[in-house]
């Protein structure tokens, strides 16, 4: 599973320090499940502005919502938000775990076009409820 691989650098070193040895696969799987059960995510959309890509928060997902698209994240992102550059930031409570990048192929959605027309500093609270409610 891509999520477990992405989290590996987050949980394996901590587990190794706690155990004072290399953890076996069962111990790593157990630690992953502990962390994953508390995970939440923030989705950022990339917008090309000049020569740089700026990323803006467009949605937040609970673990239950993530489970709904975990097997096919690029398809989900394309269906919901269109093609483009996306970053999915994972958190264990307030602690950052990892950022996973996605680039679904296809036309950008109206969201990306909307973000391009805005000034560099956005106030997204007005926009976010129209896209995906933040909980």
pLDDT in tens, 32-65: 999 999 999 999 998 887 888 888 888 899 999 9
Q: What is the pLDDT of residue 134?
A: 47
- pLDDT category of residue 124 using cuts at 50, 70 and 90: very low
Please state the separation of Cα 47 from the chain's center in Å: 16
Q: What is the pLDDT of residue 135?
A: 46
The helix/strand/coil state of 116 is helix
Strand order in the sheet with 52-62: 52-62, 39-49, 85-92, 95-102
| 76: CB partners within 8 A, 6+ apart | 68, 69
CA distances from 94 to 5, 37, 106, 115, 124 (A): 21, 14, 33, 27, 21
Q: Residues 106, 82: contact at Cβ < 8 Å?
A: yes
**What are 39's strand-pairing partners?**
92
């Amino acid at each position: 599973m891509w999520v477990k691989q992405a989290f590996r650098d987050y949980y394996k070193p901590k587990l190794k320090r706690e155990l004072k040895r290399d953890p076996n696969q069962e111990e790593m799987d157990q630690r992953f499940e502990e962390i994953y059960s508390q995970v939440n995510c923030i989705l950022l959309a990339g917008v090309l502005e000049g020569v740089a890509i700026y990323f803006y928060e467009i949605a937040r997902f609970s673990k239950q919502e993530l489970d709904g698209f975990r097997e096919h994240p690029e398809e989900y992102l394309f269906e919901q938000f269109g093609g483009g550059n996306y970053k999915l930031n994972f958190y264990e409570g307030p602690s950052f775990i990892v950022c996973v990048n996605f680039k679904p192929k296809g036309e950008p959605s109206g969201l990306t076009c909307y973000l391009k027309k805005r000034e560099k500093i956005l106030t997204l609270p007005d926009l976010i409820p129209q896209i995906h409610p933040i909980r």
